[in-house]
Structure 1
Amino acid sequence: MNSVALAEMLRHEWGVESFASINIRSLVYNNIRNLTVLWFPMKTNISGCCSKTKDDNVIFINTNHTIGRQNFTVAHELYHLLYEDIDDFNVCGLNHNSQSEINANNFASTLLMPDSALYWFKNKNQIEDWTLEDIIKCEQYYQVSHSTMLLRLKKMNWINQNQFDEYEVNIIREADRLGYDNSLYKPSPENLKYSSIGELIRLTEKAYED
């Protein structure tokens, strides 16, 4: 089964409506047993990594990347955890062209905003030709980065290469101009550079016992 179908099935299994936006952090925490997600600064060329054993699942996210990209990375790492065999740490961002990374990217994009969701958004907002304002509104709703949104629209043939290039703008400035919260396009603030959810305490206690 391809990664797009897997993402659509997972949304259904987790009770997420096909057109709904999701809070990826709470969704993975509430649906995956023995999961820990750790957010902390990493090198720029690393988006995140993951590790799993028989008893534990761990995802690491780079807080030096934008919040939109972090959301995508959580969904990306989820593919590796759920559908691949991982012997050791799986580091993402170093080999973008591997089939595994392509599958994980397609999975993440669909989990966050499946085709049906984008069709729903397009119809609801009566969009014929996508403007920059439409794109920013959509990426704000689905909480994805501007680059992720542009790539997805181009893949669906809703914008062409010229439009793609035209809409690669100073997204923080444009979001401010339109009155949107620009935190989606920025790295984690200093007070949230280090955070976690899940089984961290239990894992720490286990480490001390071992």
Structure 2
Amino acid sequence: MNRVKWAEKKANNLLESLNINQIPIPVNEIAQKLNIKISYEPFEGDLSGVLYRDNSHTIIGVNSNESDKRQRFTIAHELGHFILHEGEQLHVDHNFKVNFRDSVSSQGAKLAEIEANAFAASLLMPESLVREAYETTILNGVDPFTDDHSEEVDLLAKLFNVSQTAMLIRLGKLGLLV
């Protein structure tokens, strides 16, 4: 199994284990169930999020200057690092592990970032729920065979509370756009 499929499977397993199958996926509730605190802070520059872990607690820091949809993706991305990766060791006053989400991670240049992005997309937009919602949009008169998919993408993005870009990418990866 390739690493992206592995990350997607881990996201699906997490949703199943928590019995979550309704949209929009409650990422804050998932973090809470995993005993992860979320802290919203106005980060400088292009930093979107931070995953901090030590022996006693885990915190996801989220850039409060970003949109709600971007914050949700950042939380899901950091949950991906929490589930998939041990993180990088840094030494300050004691050992702790940290992962940062920034413009580099959004490009998916490193394998760990590609995996965390795949995990986040699968967590926020599980394949079965996307397919079900997609079928419903077609039944409600949205034509998936037009060159312009903006109407269906917009509707689905709103249902899943994700950006139109995230939904467009997800639909493409699932082979739902013609």
SS at match of 1:147: helix
Q: Is contact 1:51–1:81 with CA below 8 Å preserved after alignment?
A: no
Q: Which one of the candidate residues 157, 162, 175 is aligned to 1:144?
A: 162
Structure 1: 4+ residue segments shifted above 4 A: none
Contact 1:41 1:64 in 2 (8 A): yes
Equivalents in 2 of 1:11, 1:98: separation in Å? 25
The corresponding residue for 2:17 is 13
2:28 maps to what in 1?
A: 25
Deviation at 1:135, TM superposition (A): 1.4
1:84 CA displacement:
1.2
Q: Relative contact order (C-alpha < 8 Å, sep 6+): which is higher? A: 1
Can you give the 5+ residue segments of structure 2 that lack an aligned partner in the other structure? 90-96
CA distance in 1, matches of 2:102, 2:177: 26
Per-residue CA deviations over 1:152-183 (Å, capped at 9, x if unaligned) read 122223336xxxxxxxxxxxxxxxxxxxxxxx
Q: 1-side partners of 2:111 and 2:44: how far apart?
A: 23
RMSD: 1.8
Distance in 1 (alpha carbons) for counterparts of 2:104 and 2:150: 31
Shift, 1:94, TM fit: 4.8
Match of 2:94 in 1: none
Q: Specify the alignment match of 2:151 in structure 1.
A: 133
Query: What is the rounded CA distance, in whole Å, between the counterparts of 1:140 and 1:81 in structure 2?
Result: 27
Task: Work out the CA distance in 2 between the residues paired with 1:123 and 1:58.
Answer: 37
1:2-81 to structure 2, matched below 5 A, reads 2-17=6-21, 20-29=23-32, 31-33=33-35, 35-81=36-82
d(CA) in 2 for partners of 1:6, 1:123:
25
TM-score, normalising length: structure 1: 0.69
How far off its partner does 1:128 sit? 4.5
Structure with higher Rg: it is 1
* Aligned residue number for residue 89 of structure 1: 98
* 1:39 and 1:63 in contact (8 A); partners too: yes
The gaps in structure 1 that reach 5 residues or longer are 161-210
Matched residues, number: 157
The question of 1:107 aligning with 2:111 is answered no
Bigger strand fraction:
2
* Percent identity (aligned): 25
